[in-house]
Amino acid sequence: MSFEKNLKLLIAYDGTGYHGWQRQKNGPTIQGLLEEKLSIITAGPVHVNGAGRTDAGVHALGMTANFKTGSRMSAPEFQRALNSMLPAAVRILDAEVVESGFHARFDATGKTYRYDFFTGPIQPPHERLYRTHLRTSFVMDNVLPCLEMITGRHDFTSFEAAGSRDPLKKGGRGGVRTIYRATCITSPDQPDCFSFVFQGDGFLRHMIRNLAGTLFLVGAARMTTKQFHAVLTGRDRSLAGPTAPAHGLFLQQVHYTPLQVCTP
């Protein structure tokens, strides 16, 4: 009688030096790394389902994945074995056996991302790989109306990477996504450190980085709130600002419970 269980992993990783989550031939990826180590542990091929794809250089504090195996090892044993084999840049924070039908991607109800940036004149060197250095002025009050503007259900085509989706393809949601929460935060003890936080039911390719790059223009008074609204409704990538660097972006959490729109 065959025995198979479904394991759910909670993963944190430093994306520096990795070509993103998804397995590919031209460089190391997080999915490829996990599958390699799990195949050694189980003495057989393993396919890992991720909750989504992160781009090269993007970090994760709470990526979720699952895989099925006939191994008799317990979830804590898998966690310990993986962490003993993985490089220090990747850690399994938790592992548990879940119902057989669970899928890390298809069962997710949303994700929370954070984009960190620094506005001071001299950035501390230890932050250079994890917080974008914004070398222009930034007034947080300028961007707050724009964050309120994007909250809710909208077509975010203007903030999607150009050429990443076939506009003639039938089915799917197109560029429409729901943003449940969009905020900009800082702290009194670090006045030059800011974070955009976006929680949504899904994100288009480069959507958060393109939103951040456009909001930087608003924060520097190089784009008005009215102009930002025209970008949002224009559904044209050429209207938006540049793509912000990958290293400021963190996948903070994958959600598996219903989410609601939060008014600012």
Q: How far is CA 156 from CA 104, 176, 199, 239, in A?
A: 24, 6, 14, 12
Q: Name the DSSP letter for residue 172.
A: S
- How many Å apart are CA 177 and CA 245, to the nearest integer? 22
73 CB neighbour count, 10 Å cutoff: 16
Residues 14, 55, 94, 189: which is the catalytic one?
Answer: 55
Q: Name the DSSP letter for residue 105.
A: T
Dihedral class, residue 174 (left if φ above 0, else alpha if ψ from -120 to 50, else beta)? left
- How many Å apart are CA 82 and CA 100, to the nearest integer? 21
Burial class (CB within 10 angstroms; exposed 0-12, middle 13-18, buried 19+) of 136: exposed
94 is catalytic: no
Nearest to 104 by CA among 251, 215, 261: 251
Catalytic residues: 55
